[in-house]
């Protein structure tokens, strides 16, 4: 499914949201890029408001550390009990701590940015009120590189530490993956690689890794992030896929940082790139007796 289809599915199936919305052709009034006209047959004789219209722009913003922006516009009548302030929390909840995977296998998360209210006059002089709920779109591409792979090593380490959690790159990701207290989601990303020194056998490298933990329960999120930090501190190293060690050169945790944009745990791991593969010792002139 495309990202547009995934967002529509997420919003149109959120019961806390759709219970407030009108119906169009028997479906919740969720539209993109714009709503059908008020005289369209799909509205029937029922109320045409509240309705939700979403649009997104996949233009990256380096300052906001986002891959794009999503805007969900809520439009209501001013004489209705279903006001935008009542519906807005349901929109935020529908997109909170969820990862959507498009046809290309790229994962996206949504960080609420701001909400702005507005009013508008309709043709029949009925006043419509609304809110524009805006989100930053976070892109979580797969971070697998080449052997030795520090990201896959760290992802496997976290999975062994918390087998019931969902770790991006280790576990299969569905079109929709919703983080929960029982099954939080970990995402490890490589932010920088730095060459340190060369020896005869290998090149020593520092890999800087950020670990994000998605969990709707803040106390659980804090405890698990601190536990990962403590475990890495005590072990001092992580075993790579080729059984070589990655040493913890630097390890910090910022439990107040934006876990969607920045992550909570920041690791600088030192590992070696081998120049030569180990050469086996062939057995020469064997003497075999039966």
pLDDT at 286: 75
Distance CA 73, CA 11 (A): 12
How far apart CA 59 and CA 146 sit, in angstroms, is 29
Per-residue pLDDT reduced to its tens digit, 93-111: 999 999 999 998 899 999 9
pLDDT of residue 206: 94
pLDDT, tens only, 37-51: 888 888 877 788 899
Which one-letter DSSP state was computed for residue 289? -
The pLDDT score that the predictor gives to residue 30 is 96
- With beta carbons less than 8 A apart as the criterion, state whether 97 and 215 touch: yes
Q: Is the peptide bond before 33 cis (omega within 30 degrees of 0)?
A: yes
Low-confidence ranges of the chain (pLDDT < 70): 62-64, 121-126, 276-283, 285
Are the C-beta atoms of residues 158 and 225 closer than 8 Å to each other?
A: no
Check: pTM over 0.85? Answer yes or no: no
Among residues 189, 190, 184, the alpha carbon closest in space to that of 159 is found at 184
């Amino acid at each position: 499914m495309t990202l547009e289809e995934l967002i529509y599915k997420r919003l149109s199936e959120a019961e806390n949201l759709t219970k407030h919305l009108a119906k169009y052709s028997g479906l919740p009034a969720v539209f993109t890029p714009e709503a059908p006209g008020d005289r369209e047959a799909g509205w029937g004789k029922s109320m045409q408001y509240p309705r939700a219209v979403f649009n997104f722009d996949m233009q990256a913003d380096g300052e906001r550390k986002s891959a794009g922006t999503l805007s969900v516009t809520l439009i209501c009548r001013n004489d209705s009990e279903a006001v935008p302030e009542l519906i807005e929390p349901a929109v935020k909840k529908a997109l909170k701590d969820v990862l959507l995977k498009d046809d290309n296998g790229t994962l996206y998360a949504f960080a609420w940015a701001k909400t702005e209210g507005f009013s508008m006059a309709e043709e029949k002089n009925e006043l419509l009120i609304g809110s524009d709920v805006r989100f930053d779109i976070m892109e979580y591409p797969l971070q697998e590189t080449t052997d030795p792979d520090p990201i896959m090593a760290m992802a496997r380490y976290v999975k062994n530490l918390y087998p019931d959690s969902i770790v991006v790159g280790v576990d299969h990701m569905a079109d929709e993956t919703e983080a929960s207290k029982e099954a939080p989601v970990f995402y490890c990303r490589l932010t920088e690689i730095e060459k340190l020194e060369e020896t005869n056998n290998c090149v020593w490298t520092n890999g800087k890794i950020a670990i994000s933990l998605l969990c709707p329960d803040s106390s659980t999120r804090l405890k698990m992030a601190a536990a990962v930090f403590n475990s890495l501190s005590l072990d001092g190293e992580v075993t790579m896929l080729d059984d070589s060690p990655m040493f913890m050169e630097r390890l910090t945790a910022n439990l107040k940082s934006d876990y969607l944009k920045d992550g909570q745990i920041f690791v600088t791991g030192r590992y070696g790139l081998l120049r030569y593969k180990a050469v086996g010792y062939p057995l020469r002139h064997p003497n075999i007796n039966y």
